[in-house]
Chain A
Amino acid sequence: QKEVEQDPGPLSVPEGAIVSLNCTYSNSAFQYFMWYRQYSRKGPELLMYTYSSGNKEDGRFTAQVDKSSKYISLFIRDSQPSDSATYLCAMSAPAGDSSASKIIFGSGTRLSIRP
């Protein structure tokens, strides 16, 4: 079983729709949760960073973490064609003193917003 599971999609929705992207994880030690956006042939760009359960909102983006269910979500409101990209969830656990913490990525969901 992978540590982080993410539906690869592709997911296609019309412009203006609300998009819901999700990941599940198995490692209860994960405490930091991130969402990255990656355009084709580009490096990932950090969208949202959350620590602990609950919601965090930034403009049209809302990140949600449910540690009890080991489930995280990213919601995109009023989706735009420019939101078309691959969205990767990522998470990490606190590191010990001797090592940097590692980020474990989901496989990414390809999202397409139709004009």
Chain B
Amino acid sequence: GAVVSQHPSWVICKSGTSVKIECRSLDFQATTMFWYRQFPKQSLMLMATSNEGSKATYEQGVEKDKFLINHASLTLSTLTVTSAHPEDSSFYICSARPRGLAADTQYFGPGTRLTVL
């Protein structure tokens, strides 16, 4: 149980285009989903926290107009990287917190590798 999927697993796009990444909790309802970014040989950096049906809360330094997050249901959150640039190339990982469990219980997706040419 507690499986989180991400789609796509990898994507290559041209500079200036937008890319949407989906995060799904497959066998549980997630009241909160988190989006992280991880550069090579570095740790996970939290980008934003999203609660179902409300606006996402972005971490300091993360542009909300560039990284659009939609948490439309209890099993799906999407991250759209708008007008992507090469410096946005990174490994994007989502996590989901099941409804009713401790706040620190997060299940991670397998990640999406974004390469912007």
Interface residues on B, range: 20 to 34
Q: Which segment of A13-21, A56-64, A74-82, A95-103 sits at the interface?
A: A95-103
Task: Tell me the nearest residue of chain B to A33, going by C-beta.
Answer: B104
Identify A99's interface contact among B57, B91, B105, B113, CB under 8 A: B57
CB distance from A23 to the nearest CB of B (A): 11
A107 within 8 A of B: yes
Q: Which residues of A (41-55) have their CB < 8 Å from a CB of B?
A: 41-46, 49
- Judging by beta carbons under 8 Å apart, are B42 and A43 in contact? no
Assuming A41-B91, A43-B108, A43-B110, is B97 touching A100 (CB within 8 A)? Answer: yes
From B44, B108, B109, B111, A41 is in contact (CB under 8 Å) with B111
B25 at the interface (CB under 8 A from A): no
- On chain B, the residues within 8 Å of A105 by CB distance are 43-44
Given A32-B104, A99-B57: A41 and B113 interface contact (C-beta under 8 Å)? yes
Q: B93 within 8 Å of A by Cβ?
A: yes
Q: A32-B104, A88-B43 are in contact. Are A100 and B32 (CB under 8 A)?
A: yes
In the complex, the answer to whether A44 meets B93 with C-beta atoms within 8 Å is yes
Q: Which residues of B contact A100 (CB under 8 A)?
A: 32, 34, 49, 51, 97, 103
Taking CB as reference atom, which chain B residue is nearest A91?
Answer: B104
B101 to chain A, nearest CB (A): 11
Query: What are 23 A-B pairs with beta-carbon distances under 8 A?
Result: A36-B108, A42-B110, A43-B109, A43-B110, A44-B93, A44-B108, A46-B107, A46-B108, A49-B104, A88-B43, A92-B103, A92-B104, A94-B103, A95-B103, A99-B57, A101-B103, A102-B46, A102-B49, A103-B46, A103-B104, A106-B43, A107-B42, A110-B41
Residues of B with Cβ closer than 8 Å to A?
4, 6, 32, 34, 41-44, 46, 49, 51, 57, 91, 93, 95, 97, 102-111, 113
Question: Which 7 residue pairs across A and B have the least CB separation, nearest first?
Answer: A43-B108, A101-B103, A107-B43, A105-B43, A32-B104, A43-B110, A43-B111
